[in-house]
Amino acid sequence: MFDIDPKILVAQTVNFFLLLWLLNKLLYVPLAQLIEQRRAHIATDIDLARHERRQAETIRQEWEKKIETVDQETYRMRQQAISEANAAREQIIAEAKAAAASQKQAAERDILLEKQKAWVELREEVVQLSLAVAEKVIEKSLDDQTHRDLIRSTISQLEKTR
């Protein structure tokens, strides 16, 4: 039933090993080299991606620091502007108060001068009236003492009315 021919067995064994050697030379070694090149290329790409990720993270951190610095500078400038505006406002208010006080003092001084001027004019009128009264009294022939008493009483009455 099964007859094994040793010549065929040796030929088939040699053919099998020859096929293995040819497959190894023509298929396995180039395929292994191709797989190794692909693995090396992928490893290089992964390393490059990791390196670029670290660079991107470094750049991101630098930009975050710059943004924080800009934010701080903006805040400082805003606070300085507010401070300067408040100082200017206070200065303007102080100048306005000083101007108002100066105008008030000038007005009070003018009022006082006008008041004194009015009193001087009033006294002049009193003197004129007193002289007119004196003339009328003289016409009625009053003596000098009566005349002086009359002038004094008129002046004192005018001073009391002020």
- The model carries a pTM of 0.43
Residue 130 CB neighbour total at 10 angstroms: 20
- Show me where the domains of the chain are located: 6-161
Q: What is the pLDDT of residue 58?
A: 97
3 state SS for the chain: CCCCCHHHHHHHHHHHHHHHHHHHHHHHHHHHHHHHHHHHHHHHHHHHHHHHHHHHHHHHHHHHHHHHHHHHHHHHHHHHHHHHHHHHHHHHHHHHHHHHHHHHHHHHHHHHHHHHHHHHHHHHHHHHHHHHHHHHHHHCCCCHHHHHHHHHHHHHHHHHHC
CA–CA distance, 44 with 57 (Å, rounded to integer) = 20
Q: What's the token pair of residue 72?
A: 């701080």
CA–CA distance, 66 with 72 (Å, rounded to integer) = 10
Q: What is the pLDDT of residue 55?
A: 97
CA–CA distance, 138 with 136 (Å, rounded to integer) = 5
In order along its 162 residues, the chain shows pLDDT tens digits of 578 888 988 999 999 999 999 988 888 988 999 999 999 999 999 999 999 999 999 999 999 999 999 999 999 999 999 999 999 999 999 999 999 999 999 999 999 999 998 888 888 887 777 777 767 666 665 567 777 777 788 778 777 766
Summarize the chain as % helix, strand, coil (round to 5).
95, 0, 5
Q: What is the pLDDT of residue 142?
A: 58
Q: What is the pLDDT of residue 160?
A: 76
